[in-house]
Chain A
Amino acid sequence: MQNKKTITLTFFGMLLLLIAIVLSVTYGTKSVGLSDIIDAVLSRNTSAYNVNVVRARIPRTLFGLIAGASLGISGLLMQSITKNPIADPSILGVNTGAALFIVTGIAFFHIQSKPAYIGLSFVGAMLTTGFVYKLASLGYGGPSPIKLAISGAATSTALSSIISLIVMPDSSVMTTYRFWQVGSIGGASNEDILWILPFFILALIVSLSLSDQLNTLLLSEETSISLGLHVNRTKALAALCGVILCATTTAMAGPISFVGLMVPHVIRMLIGSNHFPLILLSGIYGSSVLLLSDILGRIFGRPGELESGIMTALIGAPVFILIIRRAKVASL
Chain B
Amino acid sequence: MTTEPSIFIGIQKRRRQYVSTLCLLLLVLCALACLNLTIGEKNYSIYQVLHVLTGTSQEGAYLITRLRLPRTLAAILSGIAFGVAGNIFQTLLRNPLASPDIIGVSTGSTVAAVYCILFLNLSRGIVSVISVFAGILVAFCIYRISYTDRFSANRLILVGIGMQAFFNALINWMILKAAEYDVPTAMRWMTGNLNGIVTDSLPLLFLVVIFSLTCILLLRHGMQSLTLGDEYAIILGVRVRIVRAALILCSVMLIAFATAITGPISSIAFLSGPIATKICGKSQANILSSALVGALLVLGGDFIGQNLLFTRYPVGVITGLLGAPYLIYLLIQNQKGGRI
Contact = CB atoms under 8 A, between A and B. Distances in A.
Interface of A: 86, 90-91, 131, 134-136, 138-140, 146-147, 149-151, 153-155, 157-162, 164-165, 167-169, 171, 174-175, 178-179, 181-182, 257-258, 306-307, 309-310, 313-314, 316-318, 320-321, 324-325, 327, 329, 332
B78 interface: no
Contacts of A313: 165-166, 168-169
B155 A324 contact: yes
Contact of A307 (B157, B170, B173, B314): B173
A322 to B, nearest CB: 9
Contacts of A90: 165
Contact of B176 (A131, A178, A327): A178
Contacts of A161: 191, 266-267, 316-317, 320-321, 323-324
Contacts of A175: 180
A146 B93 CA distance: 12
Q: Closest 3 CB pairs between A and B? A: A161-B320, A139-B339, A313-B169
A153 B161 contact: yes
A327 B152 CA distance: 12
Task: Say whether chain B's binding surface is mostly helix, strand, loop, or mixed.
Answer: helix
B54 interface: no
Given A157-B266, A161-B191, A168-B187, A314 B320 contact: no
Contacts of A150: 95, 97-98, 102-103, 157, 161, 340
A209 B155 CA distance: 36
Contact of B317 (A134, A165, A316): A165
A43 B320 CA distance: 55
B56 interface: no
Nearest to B317: A165
A169 B317 CA distance: 12
B327 A158 contact: yes
Contacts of A154: 97, 102, 270, 323, 327
The interface size bin for chain B is 35 or more
Nearest to B148: A325
Question: Of residues A90, A131, A158, A313, which shows the largest number of chain B Cβ atoms within 10 Å of its Cβ?
Answer: A158
A317 B323 contact: no
Contacts, number: 166
Interface of B: 95, 97-98, 101-103, 145-146, 148, 150, 152, 154-155, 157-159, 161-166, 168-170, 172-173, 175-176, 180, 183-184, 187-188, 191, 266-267, 270, 311, 313-314, 316-317, 320-321, 323-324, 326-327, 330-331, 334, 338-340
22 contacts: A138-B330, A138-B338, A139-B334, A139-B338, A139-B339, A146-B157, A157-B101, A157-B102, A157-B266, A157-B267, A168-B191, A169-B311, A171-B184, A179-B176, A310-B173, A314-B170, A317-B162, A317-B166, A321-B159, A324-B155, A324-B162, A329-B155
Contact of B313 (A147, A151, A165, A314): A165
Contacts of B162: 317-318, 320-321, 324
A151 B95 CA distance: 11
Task: Say whether chain A's binding surface is mostly helix, strand, loop, or mixed.
Answer: helix
Contacts of B150: 329
Nearest to B191: A164
A151 B327 CA distance: 9
Contacts of A307: 173, 176
Contact of A325 (B155, B187, B330, B338): B155
Given A158-B324, A168-B317, A329-B152, A257 B173 contact: no
A135 B165 contact: no
A90 B165 CA distance: 9
Given A161-B267, A329-B155, 7 more contacts: A138-B330, A154-B102, A158-B327, A164-B317, A310-B169, A316-B165, A318-B166
Nearest to B164: A153
A79 to B, nearest CB: 15
B317 A174 contact: no
Given A150-B98, A317-B165, A139 B340 contact: yes
Contacts of A181: 172
B172 A310 contact: yes
B252 to A, nearest CB: 19
Contact of B321 (A131, A162, A182): A162
B162 to A, nearest CB: 4
A133 to B, nearest CB: 11
B85 to A, nearest CB: 16
Contacts of B316: 161, 164
Contacts of B323: 154, 157-158, 161
Contacts of B159: 321, 324-325
A182 B174 CA distance: 11
